[in-house]
Amino acid sequence: MRVVRNSGVLAVSVALLACLIGGARAAGANLPVSSRWKAGINYKVLSPAQPTNAPPGKVQVMEFFYLACPFCHALEPHIVAWRKTKPAYVQFVQVPVMWAPLQVSDARLFYTLLALGRDDLVPTAFNTIHRLELAAGGNENVMIGRTKAKTLALQEAFAERHGISGSAFVNAYDSFDVHVELDRARQLQTVYQITATPTIIVDGRFKTGPSFFAYHGNESRLASGDRRTIQLINFLTRWAHDHPHAG
């Protein structure tokens, strides 16, 4: 009788093990498979996955950044080129981080330009800030004043140089819509636990960015990471589009 009982336990154990293995295989089937890109190395699988506001059939790519970030500025030309050739099913959005007053001021400028329908000036702001940074010897506060009033004056002057009236800029700067976008960006930064920029979130399921890549070949680490980030985005968005309910 003892042997029979042990056999029964063994049978149950084997069945449980088989079930666990089957579950692991099923979970693995819900993740991208690639000999080149490795989860936990080149990208992180987010658990739980987060919902996005992308329309049905679309895959959202979200970039966390801030305008004075030199690494974001280095990635930007790659992002610009990619946006011209990305599949129609990819929805791209940028979300500014807000760790400190510098980033808050950058974020407010970003959302003010969007509120005014002048998203075309975002790259101009990007390039202007970094050109001034270089001229100032790397000082990131070139468009940020010691007070909120001084910061507003510097950014208003930038807007006026590019065809936006001062009154329109100020009205948008303190508008309800901009405050809503700032609050939403803070929430997203918290949800995705953003600690570095640029960070890319694909479909609310995968986190990556240049910092996920080490030095490769004859390129600098920065250039190599930027280039391979774009290649990985293409891989992950294609997989997410083909597996909309996986994960």
CATH number of the domain at 95, please: 3.40.30.10
Beta bridge partners of 199: 64
Q: Identify the pLDDT of residue 49.
A: 94
CB atoms within 10 A of CB 112: 27
DSSP type of residue 57 = T
Is the domain of 8 the same as that of 72? no
Compute, in degrees rounded to 10, the torsion defined by CA atoms 36, 42, 48, 49: -70
State yes or no: pLDDT of 137 exceeds 70.
no
Residue 222 pLDDT class (50, 70, 90 cuts): low
**Structural domain contains residue 3:** yes
Residues 2 and 59 in one domain: no
7 and 45, same domain (yes or no): no
Distance CA 241, CA 245 (A): 9
Domain shared by 22 and 79, yes or no: no
- In a domain? residue 247: no
- Is the domain of 5 the same as that of 55? no
Are both 186 and 171 inside the same structural domain? yes
Residues 132 and 169 in one domain: yes
pLDDT of residue 145: 84
pLDDT-above-70 percentage for the chain: 79
Residues 85 and 6 in one domain: no
Whether 133 maps to a domain, the answer reads yes
What pTM was estimated for this model as a whole?
Answer: 0.83
**Residue range(s) defining the domain that contains residue 83:** 35-242
Instruction: Choose between 221 and 123: higher pLDDT.
Output: 123
pLDDT reported for residue 140: 58
Average pLDDT over residues 15-39: 57
Residue 56 burial (C-beta neighbours within 10 Å; 0-12, 13-18, 19+) = exposed
Domain count across the chain:
2
